[in-house]
Amino acid sequence: MNIMITGGCGYIGSHVTISLEKLGHNITIYDNFSNSNKDQIKRLDLICTSNIDYICADITDTKSLKNILKDKKIESVVHMAGLKYVGDSESDPISYYENNVSGTISLLKAMNECEIKNLVFSSSATVYGEPEYLPIDENHSTSPISVYGRTKLYVENILKDLSLSDPDWSIICLRYFNPAGAHHSGFIGEEITSKSENLFPTIGKVLSGITPSLKVYGRDYQTHDGTGIRDYIHVSDLSEGHAMSVEYVNNNKGIENINLGRGHGYSVLEVIKSFEKITKKKIPYEFAEFRSGDISSSFADVTKAKQILGWIATRDLDDMCKSMWYYDQNKDSIF
């Protein structure tokens, strides 16, 4: 099948590219490279055996999207292009609404005009906001506490209205919990940038000596060890969930929101412990104030993903730490 992946050179997007290409699909990546560099193309070509088309363009350019959808005879779209930093979204909401919401509307217009109505959308568990109960299932209320989370929810609502207006659309919104880890090859993984505020890349900065020690935000949460709990999911499990979602949207109509997580939470101290075991290095840390906007605990009810997609995560916390560490050690020695 001919599939277009917007944002396919990003951290998660490149893993999704690998999962879909491995299944024999013809991949066209549409990416403005704002959050990835052209090196990623060489890295993907080291792993993928078939030819991948790379289009450097922006999703707000509807005309360009239409041309590619037609030229490449695209049958399904995995939409991952978007801005993703929670902190950034608070200080620059316009860019987040323009890219994440207007950019998606531009894509939907192009798809509609080309009669392409199979879509997998990269959403986020941040749409839930503060959990009212745990584990969080897809019926949980949605009240995101960040601009980033609100952009994801607005797009979900647009997709729901689109599906109601035209039953020919087949859509899955994947609500990611906390993606982490890297491809087992060590060729691709999460780039550590100054904007990285997530736990795993920040630990990566400590391990590589960029940051002297880790700040553990909050030690008095109502959790077994007082630190925040999250549902970390290996990026390869996540990308396999996308591949199964493409299969599903090509054989069904309507719209589904689906959680992608392990259904289990790990605390910050447990993540640190796992990294120390894997790397045999001490990770210096100090406790700091709560981080505004943080929630205490979040982990997924993943029943629906199993029922609808036949998908479950198979990799554990150690796999995530090991693969990230292996990538961080190897990424600069490839070329």
Those residues whose C-beta lies under 8 Å from the C-beta of residue 332, and which sit 6 or more positions away, are: none
Residues 6+ apart with CB under 8 A from 304: 137, 138, 256, 258, 259
* Binding span for ligand WQD by CB under 6 A among 111-119, 196-204, 249-257, 317-325: 196-204
Verify binding: residue 215, ligand WQD, rule CB under 6 A: yes
Does residue 268 belong to the site contacting ligand WQD (CB under 6 A)?
yes
Does residue 68 bind ligand WQD (CB under 6 A)?
A: no
From the list 27-35, 61-69, 194-202, 308-316, the region that binds ligand WQD by CB under 6 A is 194-202
Single out the residue of 171, 168, 175 nearest to residue 114, CA to CA.
168
Interface pick for ligand WQD out of 104, 126, 245, 259 (rule CB under 6 A): 126
| Element housing 121 (H / E) | strand 118-124
State yes or no: residue 96 binds ligand WQD (CB under 6 A).
no
Judged by CB under 6 A, the chain residues 147 through 176 that form the site for ligand WQD are: 176
Nearest Cα neighbor of 176 from 130, 244, 239 is 239
What gap in Å lies between CA 275 and CA 292, rounded to an integer? 25
Rule CB under 6 A: say whether 291 interacts with ligand WQD. yes
H or E segment and range at residue 43: helix 39-47
Q: Of the listed 85, 148, 248, 326, which one is catalytic? A: 148
CB of 246 to ligand WQD, least distance (A): 20
148 is catalytic: yes
Q: How far is CA 151 from CA 134, 222, 295, 301, 302, in A?
A: 24, 29, 19, 23, 23
Closest CA to 304 of 232, 253, 265, 248: 248
Q: Examine residue 124 and tell whether it contacts ligand WQD (CB under 6 A).
A: yes
- The residue (of 286 and 332) whose beta carbon lies closer to ligand WQD is 286
Choice from 132, 161, 197, 220 touching ligand WQD (CB under 6 A)? 197
235/309 with CB nearer ligand WQD: 235
Segments of 135-284 assigned E as strands: 170-176, 178-180, 214-217, 229-230, 232-234, 254-260, 266-267
- Known catalytic residues? 148
Residues that bind ligand WQD (CB under 6 A): 86, 124, 126, 176, 178, 197-199, 202, 214-217, 228, 230, 268, 291, 294
